[in-house]
Amino acid sequence: MHKIISVAEKEIGYEEKPPNSNKTKYGKWFGLDGQPWCAMFVSWCYDKAGYPLGKIGFPKGFAGCQTAFNHFTKTGEITKHPVEGDIVLFDWNGDGRYEHTGIYLYSISETRFVTIEGNTSLTNQSNGGMVMRRKRFHSQAVFVHPKVLDK
C-alpha cells in the first residue's frame, strides 16, 4: 500500500536518542518507550497511514515479533506472495523464533527483497537504533498481508 510506504519512507534516517537507549517517538506513541521498537515502528506506520493493526498483544498493534507471528498465523494472514506495504517477520537463526520485523517494498531477485525497518543498522540487524531501507533474504522471512489492507 502506497500510503504505508510513504509514511515509512519519511522516517528513513530517524535514530533513537540517546543512542542505545531504545527511546523513540514510536515507543512513546505505543506506550513502551525504552523497549526494542522494530514492531512499534511497523504498528506506528500502519496507524499513521490510516490502517491501524488493532490489538495484537497491545491496543495499538504489536511489540513482539513472535506474538505477531502467532497472531497472523492464527488469523490466516501469512502469505507467500507479498505486496508493497505487507509486514515481514524475520527469523535470523532458522529456529522458528521471529526476532525482527519491517515493511516489505519489493523483490529484487528470486532470493532477495527490499524493506524499510525500524531499530536496525549495518552492525545490528534487530536492535540497531535507526530506520533504514534494507536488502534481505527470502529464506529468513515470512510475509504477512494484514486484513486491514483489504478494507
Amino acid at 6: S
Q: Which residues contact 13 (CB under 8 A, 6 or more apart)?
A: 130, 131, 132
d(CA 144, CA 8): 17
* Residue 151 pLDDT: 79
Instruction: Tell me: pLDDT of 84 over 80.
Output: yes
Span 12-28, average pLDDT: 96
Span 20-33, average pLDDT: 97
d(CA 42, CA 142): 15
How confident is the prediction for the chain on average, in pLDDT? 97
Span 4-11, average pLDDT: 98
Span 72-83, average pLDDT: 97
Which of 41, 45, 44, 40 lies closest to 57 in space, CA to CA?
40
Position 53 confidence tier, pLDDT thresholds 50, 70, 90: very high
* Residue 1 pLDDT: 61
Question: Structure pTM?
Answer: 0.97
Span 133-146, average pLDDT: 98
Which of 54, 14, 55 lies closest to 38 in space, CA to CA?
14
Looking at domain 2-150, which of 3.90.1720.10, 3.30.70.141, 1.10.287.1080, 3.60.15.10 is its CATH number? Answer: 3.90.1720.10
